[in-house]
């Protein structure tokens, strides 16, 4: 516990560390001390920011559902079709379809999303220029440029820091959930460290039982959980010998919190069987569709940030076959999510953010070894935003006829992420807690050295 | 403080080990319980030896003098059981097996602790484990943001591991890195200069200062840092025709103000036909004049590699940073915190708790050919290292002055390896992207993983450092609720226990009647719940479980305690297990629950 920003004790919701003295802890005994600290629930994992994070309480958006298209989805085949560019660019997907908003067309494999176009806006001029997965994923999700010696946290880690326990969230479910696997190969938490890492559910919500690693197990009855816990307590000889050890006190708190989640009702949020068969069908009976449904259940309970890590978009080979298989899953899941959130009045307070680290080469690589694949393309690509204060039914910016250059209104990651923070009431100039005590802000300062096309005011 | 006076060895502390223990699993229940009672009566808990403190050498002299001055009573010496586990974990990052533990406890050799230390320092796992620690600070990472690339990360790690295996003197180890030229794929140590996010001369200077001088140059006055940066102003990075290969070399013509031509960020496809056009500036004629970090002037001839000049200055016994940083790091790795703390934050206003101790270790290092194993041996043979974790006085001051051995959570890699060892299972690691794909052989242990970017949610969750910065504190040791949830209740861990071939063997061995039955019905389990991770051969759980008895769980408990906690159970613990056995009709469930409870016990999860 060398990091001054990681409290070994609880942090009150207002960000103040609720320290107790050793004497107090002693007086109450381990149980008492742990119980006292647990008033703050999951906050052991939260950070004590140097100053209370400034979140504008009037902010419209309360939560974010990020549909992360890991691998980089093709903009031409999704939200920026270019039927005029010919077969070399469109392959077989050259018949875009109209949407319920006049003048907006999208890819032909997204008919359900075409019916929801009034709810979202398409940004067709995203750009950062990087063609490396990790670097591009970092840029899109942190809004920072690599190489400054810092590894910044992603939007998910930032939002759950500001809108999590320090921002008044009180749930037992951790404030930053990833469905179902971490992105890997680059750390979501950045320099905020392991405590700001998202909770990855593991498992598969489309299976008959959604086994959430650690929370929902298969094959252990509640009774056995309780007798086991009792056994664990009785065999804790070291805890009894060293009852004042700060490490062990923290460990005991963590264990208590873990059991609150294992034995309490909070974990039921992951039980999609509580939903009707009809709604489950509408979301699509696949991992992505059911993840969207779980995401809705999570934001319904106030979880500030949910990432659905939708893998498989790095289509160097067999691109169009993969599109034909995967785009219908995306279409059903995301369209139903938008409709369902709107029906429940949640869309006003929930930002839905769709996109990947980059787009794909507009010109199809028909030659071997790709044989109809698309490469990485960071020069221009599309993202989609909805809800939480973003207007629907608009298109921001555009790309050229072949989708190879930004034509108008470039949007850089800092513009998009900054706009999301604005709607959430997070000040981009606020300081982040840094392990070496460095003075670093949430967003890079727009001092002319950072490329920016300005916040997305046209759709806010 | 008569307690601290040297006294002859108190043999009472060795009583446990000198008594020949009965052969496991054959002992009758009664005899076993009697034995256990005997073992446990030596002291109130299994962690402290019933012996008096025995200061032995300079380390003890300095640390105990400090404690006496501060009026802090040190902890009691640790028991043999604590020592064997501690030594294994600290030297080879590996849990002792039940057999190794038992042999050690049984040994009547008076010098058995010293002998064990020597033996462990020669084990192959020593190289794996200490290469892992050095790879943290040397930033061995294939991907973002260090971006070494998989083959280069492996070459770098291989060089580090081989150097440690061969016990390369530390001064040579550092010199080879600092003065290396060549391909990132072929000359592993050149990757030191690639494993920095900021490859400008200033960025490299900061990395060198942090890694080998244990100091944060970003806090120095600007001009001092700029002077040091001069020594790294002639490093050039040049791509070759091979995908992601890069030659790092000294180039006397390099314009230090030119942008760093490090490899471009990962491109989509391999670049073919790389053409390198270097507009060659005229060779320099003027020497570089700058100052070393200690203020002494340096003159570097136009054809001289400034890095060599720097290395010659750094690697001398008189250098105020070099040996100091190395011994302080080693101490911190073994005892949880530095004599100067943080171990990589050496500066005039961050005083060592014992300047004499630090000075002594520095001199020992220089006088013994920079052999870090010699330093480890000195530390581990000291009474200070062999104190128990049960403090007499638990204050931050006592901890800072090494009054007890501090509890620390096992590192992510050590923890998963220990779980695999206990259960006889393995992990599968791979990185599907980028090409070339990385697949780690199934029997490779996690402490031997070359690259911190291998995808593993377990390692991430348990605080494996990203290796972004080279700071020793990047490795997170604080416990989190996620970790507790995972160990208590995830299918990954649950499967390892339930389907563990090793626990099943132990279970059968503790019950000869059952063992016979199992050999007859050697069939796969229809109720296999394995989902992932645990690659266990699934022997069936017998349908008709025997009625529980008090004696047999005790035998099984002994085997489990030795396997998981590296000690015998106490009578109180045996009683608890016997009571628990009565609550379930399935003896195997009881065994599984006991293994689960010991794995979730802080005594397993922490070094102590």
In this prediction, what percent of chain B has a pLDDT beyond 90?
67
Are B473 and A3 within 8 A, CB to CB?
A: yes
What is the model's pLDDT at position B50? 87
- For the segment B536-560, the average pLDDT, to the nearest whole number, is 56
Other residues' Cβ atoms within 10 Å of the Cβ of residue B422: 24
Residue A291 lies inside a defined structural domain of this protein = yes
Q: How confident is the model at residue B239 (pLDDT cuts 50, 70, 90)?
A: very high
| Secondary structure (3-state) at B299 | strand
Find, in chain A, the residue whose alpha carbon is nearest to that of B578.
A231
Q: Report how far residue B550's alpha carbon sits from residue B503's, in angstroms, rounded to the nearest whole number.
A: 19
Q: How far is A152 from chain B (nearest CA, A)?
A: 10
Are B407 and A245 within 8 A, CB to CB?
A: yes
Are A148 and B198 within 8 A, CB to CB?
A: yes
Q: How confident is the model at residue A438 (pLDDT cuts 50, 70, 90)?
A: confident
Burial of A339 (0-12, 13-18, 19+ CB in 10 A): middle
Q: Which of A228, A241, A250 sits opposite B47 (nearest CB)?
A: A241
Other residues' Cβ atoms within 10 Å of the Cβ of residue B273: 5
- Give the domain range for residue A130: 63-213+271-459
| Secondary structure (3-state) at B150 | helix
Are B480 and A247 within 8 A, CB to CB?
A: no
Find, in chain B, the residue whose alpha carbon is nearest to that of A41.
B481
Are A195 and B580 within 8 A, CB to CB?
A: no
Choice between B168 and A215, residue whose per-residue pLDDT is larger: B168
Q: Which of B484, B580, B589 sits opposite A254 (nearest CB)?
A: B484
Residue A58 lies inside a defined structural domain of this protein = no
Are A258 and B434 within 8 A, CB to CB?
A: no
Interface test with B, best of A245, A250, A256 (most B CBs within 10 A): A245
CA-closest candidate to residue A374, choices A365, A383, A382, A387 = A365
**Worst-scoring range by mean pLDDT, A217-221, A369-373, B41-45, B326-330?**
B41-45
Are A186 and B143 within 8 A, CB to CB?
A: yes
The reply to whether B368 touches chain A by the CB within 8 Å rule is no
- Listed in order, strand segments (DSSP E) in B219-362 are 235-239, 246-250, 288-291, 297-300
- Listed in order, strand segments (DSSP E) in B110-234 are 182-183
Are A184 and B477 within 8 A, CB to CB?
A: no
Q: φ, ψ for residue A178 (rounded to 5)?
A: -115, 130
The reply to whether B473 touches chain A by the CB within 8 Å rule is yes
CB contacts, 8 Å: B469 with chain A = 149, 151
CB contacts, 8 Å: B583 with chain A = 227
Provide DSSP, B131-146.
HHHHHHHTT--SSTTT
Burial of B478 (0-12, 13-18, 19+ CB in 10 A): buried
CB contacts, 8 Å: B489 with chain A = 214-215, 217, 220, 225, 258, 262
Find, in chain A, the residue whose alpha carbon is nearest to that of B589.
A224
Interface test with B, best of A1, A193, A258 (most B CBs within 10 A): A258
Summarised one tens digit per residue, pLDDT across range A363-410 is 999 999 999 999 999 999 999 999 999 999 999 999 999 999 999 999
Are A231 and B594 within 8 A, CB to CB?
A: yes
Other residues' Cβ atoms within 10 Å of the Cβ of residue B512: 11
- For the segment A149-167, the average pLDDT, to the nearest whole number, is 90
Are B433 and A314 within 8 A, CB to CB?
A: yes
Mean per-residue pLDDT over chain A, rounded:
87
What is the model's pLDDT at position B259? 56
The reply to whether B277 touches chain A by the CB within 8 Å rule is no
Q: Which of B265, B488, B529 sits opposite A258 (nearest CB)?
A: B488
Q: Report how far residue B563's alpha carbon sits from residue B566's, in angstroms, rounded to the nearest whole number.
A: 6
Residue A154 lies inside a defined structural domain of this protein = yes
A-B contacts (CB, under 8 Å): 225
Pairing label, strands B408-409, B606-607: antiparallel
Q: φ, ψ for residue A348 (rounded to 5)?
A: -60, -30
Find, in chain A, the residue whose alpha carbon is nearest to that of B343.
A2
| Secondary structure (3-state) at B247 | strand
Are A45 and B455 within 8 A, CB to CB?
A: no
CA-closest candidate to residue A159, choices A198, A119, A202 = A198
Contacts of B146 (CB under 8 A, 6+ apart): B139, B194, B195, B196, B197, B467, B468
Query: CATH code at A352?
Result: 3.40.720
- Give residue A355's region: left, alpha or beta (phi > 0; psi -120 to 50): left
Q: How far is A20 from chain B (nearest CA, A)?
A: 15
Residue A33 lies inside a defined structural domain of this protein = no
CB contacts, 8 Å: A142 with chain B = none
Q: φ, ψ for residue B158 (rounded to 5)?
A: -65, -40
In this prediction, what percent of chain B has a pLDDT beyond 70?
81
- For the segment B232-238, the average pLDDT, to the nearest whole number, is 96
Summarised one tens digit per residue, pLDDT across range A226-235 is 999 999 999 9
Number of domains chain A contains: 1
Rg (C-alpha) for chain A, rounded Å, is 23
Summarised one tens digit per residue, pLDDT across range B279-309 is 667 778 889 999 999 999 999 999 999 999 9
Contacts of B250 (CB under 8 A, 6+ apart): B181, B234, B235, B236, B305, B306, B307
Residue A341 lies inside a defined structural domain of this protein = yes
- On the question of pLDDT at B183 being above 60, the answer is yes
What is the model's pLDDT at position B35? 43
- On the question of pLDDT at A164 being above 80, the answer is yes
- On the question of pLDDT at B13 being above 80, the answer is no
CA B111, distance to chain mean position in Å, is 25
- For the segment A56-80, the average pLDDT, to the nearest whole number, is 95
CB contacts, 8 Å: B457 with chain A = 181-182, 184, 200, 202
**B351-364 in b/e burial notation, b at 16+ Cβ within 10 A?**
ebbbeebbbbbbeb
Find, in chain A, the residue whose alpha carbon is nearest to that of B48.
A241
The reply to whether B26 touches chain A by the CB within 8 Å rule is no
What is the model's pLDDT at position A193? 77
In this prediction, what percent of chain A has a pLDDT beyond 90?
71
- On the question of pLDDT at B37 being above 50, the answer is no
Find, in chain A, the residue whose alpha carbon is nearest to that of B600.
A232
- On the question of pLDDT at A51 being above 70, the answer is no
Alpha carbon of A411 to those of A127, A180, B61, B262, B605: distances in Å? 6, 29, 66, 28, 48
The reply to whether B528 touches chain A by the CB within 8 Å rule is no
CB contacts, 8 Å: A194 with chain B = 460-463, 476, 478, 480
ipTM of the complex: 0.84
Summarised one tens digit per residue, pLDDT across range A103-141 is 999 999 999 999 999 999 999 999 999 998 889 999 999
Residue in this structure with the two tokens 């990052």, named with its chain if needed: B93
Residue A233 lies inside a defined structural domain of this protein = no
């Amino acid at each position: 516990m060398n990091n001054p920003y990681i409290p070994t004790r609880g942090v009150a919701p207002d960000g103040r560390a609720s320290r107790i003295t050793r004497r107090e802890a002693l007086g109450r005994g381990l149980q008492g001390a742990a119980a006292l600290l647990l008033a703050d629930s999951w906050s052991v994992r939260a950070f004590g920011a140097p100053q209370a994070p400034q979140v504008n309480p009037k902010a419209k958006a309360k939560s974010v559902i990020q549909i992360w298209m890991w691998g980089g989805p093709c903009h031409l085949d999704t939200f920026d079709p270019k039927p005029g560019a010919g077969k070399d660019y469109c392959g077989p997907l050259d018949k875009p379809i109209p949407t319920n908003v006049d003048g907006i067309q999208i890819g032909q494999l997204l008919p359900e999303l075409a019916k929801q176009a009034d709810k979202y806006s398409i940004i067709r001029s995203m750009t950062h220029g990087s063609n490396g997965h990790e670097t591009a994923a970092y840029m899109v999700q942190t809004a920072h440029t690599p190489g400054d010696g810092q590894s910044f946290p992603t939007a998910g880690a930032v939002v759950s820091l500001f809108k999590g326990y320090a921002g008044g969230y009180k749930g037992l479910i951790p404030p930053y959930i990833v469905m179902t696997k971490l992105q890997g190969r680059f750390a979501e938490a950045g320099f905020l460290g392991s405590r700001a890492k998202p909770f990855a559910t593991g498992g598969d919500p489309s299976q008959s039982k959604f086994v959430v690693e650690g929370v929902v197990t298969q094959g252990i009855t509640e009774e056995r959980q309780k007798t086991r816990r009792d056994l664990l307590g009785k065999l804790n000889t070291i805890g009894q010998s060293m009852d004042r050890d700060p490490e062990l006190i923290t460990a005991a708190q963590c264990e208590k919190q873990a059991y609150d989640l294992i034995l309490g009702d909070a974990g039921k949020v992951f039980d999609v069987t509580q939903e009707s068969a009809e709604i489950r069908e509408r979301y699509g009976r696949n991992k992505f569709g059911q993840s969207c449904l779980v995401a809705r259940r999570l934001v319904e309970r106030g979880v500030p940030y949910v990432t659905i890590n939708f893998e498989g978009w790095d289509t160097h080979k067999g691109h169009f076959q993969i599109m034909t298989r995967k785009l219908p899953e995306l279409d059903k899941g995301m369209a139903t999510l938008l409709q369902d959130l709107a029906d429940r009045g949640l869309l006003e307070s929930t930002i839905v953010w769709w996109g990947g680290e980059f787009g794909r080469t507009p010109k199809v690589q028909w030659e071997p070894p790709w044989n109809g694949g698309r490469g990485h393309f960071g020069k221009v690509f599309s993202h989609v935003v909805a809800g939480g204060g973003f207007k629907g039914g608009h298109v921001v910016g555009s790309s050229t006829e072949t989708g190879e250059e930004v034509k108008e209104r470039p949007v850089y990651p800092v513009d998009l992420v900054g706009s999301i923070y604005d709607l959430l009431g997070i000040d981009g100039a606020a300081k982040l807690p840094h392990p070496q005590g460095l003075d670093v802000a949430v967003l890079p300062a727009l001092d002319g050295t950072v490329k920016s096309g300005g916040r997305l005011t046209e759709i806010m | 403080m008569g307690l601290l006076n040297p006294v002859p060895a108190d043999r009472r502390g060795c009583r446990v080990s000198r008594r020949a223990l009965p052969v496991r699993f054959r002992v009758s229940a009664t005899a076993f319980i009697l034995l256990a009672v005997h073992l446990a009566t030596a002291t109130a808990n299994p962690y402290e030896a019933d012996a008096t403190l025995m200061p032995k050498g300079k380390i003890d002299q300095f640390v105990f003098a400090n404690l006496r001055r501060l009026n802090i009573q040190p902890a009691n010496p640790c028991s043999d059981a604590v020592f064997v586990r501690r030594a294994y974990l600290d030297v080879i990052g590996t849990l002792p097996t039940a057999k190794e533990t038992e042999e050690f406890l049984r040994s009547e050799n008076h010098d058995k602790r010293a002998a064990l230390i020597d033996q462990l320092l020669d084990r192959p796992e020593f190289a794996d484990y200490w290469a892992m620690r050095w790879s943290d600070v040397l930033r061995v990472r294939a991907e973002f943001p260090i971006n070494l690339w998989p083959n280069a990360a492996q070459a770098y790690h291989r060089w580090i591991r081989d150097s440690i295996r061969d016990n390369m003197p530390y001064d040579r180890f550092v010199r080879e890195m600092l003065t290396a030229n060549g391909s990132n794929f072929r000359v592993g140590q050149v990757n030191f200069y690639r494993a920095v996010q900021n490859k400008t001369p200033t960025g490299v200077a900061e990395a060198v200062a942090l890694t080998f001088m244990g100091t944060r140059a970003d806090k120095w006055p600007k001009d001092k840092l700029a002077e040091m940066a001069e020594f790294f102003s002639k490093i050039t990075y040049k791509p070759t025709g091979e995908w992601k290969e890069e030659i790092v070399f000294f180039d006397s013509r390099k314009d230090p103000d030119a942008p760093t031509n490090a490899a471009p960020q990962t491109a989509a496809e391999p670049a073919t036909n790389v053409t390198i056009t270097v507009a060659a500036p005229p060779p320099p004629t003027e020497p570089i004049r700058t100052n070393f970090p200690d203020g002494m002037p340096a003159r570097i001839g136009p054809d001289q590699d400034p890095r060599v000049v720097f290395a010659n200055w750094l690697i001398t016994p008189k250098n105020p940073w070099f040996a100091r940083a190395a011994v302080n790091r080693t101490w911190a790795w073994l005892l949880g915190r530095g004599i100067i703390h943080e171990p990589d934050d050496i500066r005039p206003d961050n005083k060592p708790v014992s300047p004499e101790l630090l000075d002594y270790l520095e001199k020992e290092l220089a006088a013994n050919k920079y052999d870090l194993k010699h330093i480890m041996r000195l530390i581990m043979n000291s009474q200070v290292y062999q104190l128990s974790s049960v403090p007499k006085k638990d204050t931050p001051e006592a901890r800072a002055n090494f009054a007890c051995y501090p509890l620390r959570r096992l590192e992510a890699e050590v923890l998963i390896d220990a779980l695999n060892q206990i259960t006889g299972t393995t992990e599968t690691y791979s990185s599907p992207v980028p090409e070339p794909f990385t697949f780690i052989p199934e029997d490779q242990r996690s402490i031997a993983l070359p690259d911190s970017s291998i995808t593993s949610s377990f390692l991430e969750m348990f605080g494996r450092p990203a290796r972004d910065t080279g700071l020793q504190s990047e490795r997170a040791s604080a416990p989190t609720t996620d970790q507790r949830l995972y160990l208590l209740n995830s299918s990954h861990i649950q499967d390892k226990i339930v389907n563990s071939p090793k626990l099943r063997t132990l279970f059968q061995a503790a019950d000869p009647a059952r063992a016979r039955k199992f050999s007859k019905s050697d069939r796969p389990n229809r109720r296999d719940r394995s989902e992932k991770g645990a690659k266990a051969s699934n022997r069936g759980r017998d349908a008709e479980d025997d009625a529980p008895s008090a004696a047999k769980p005790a035998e099984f408990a002994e085997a489990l305690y030795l396997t998981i906690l590296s000690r015998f159970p106490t009578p109180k613990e045996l009683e608890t297990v016997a009571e628990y056995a009565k609550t379930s009709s399935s003896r195997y469930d009881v065994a599984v629950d006991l293994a689960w409870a010991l794995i979730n016990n802080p005594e397993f999860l922490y070094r102590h």
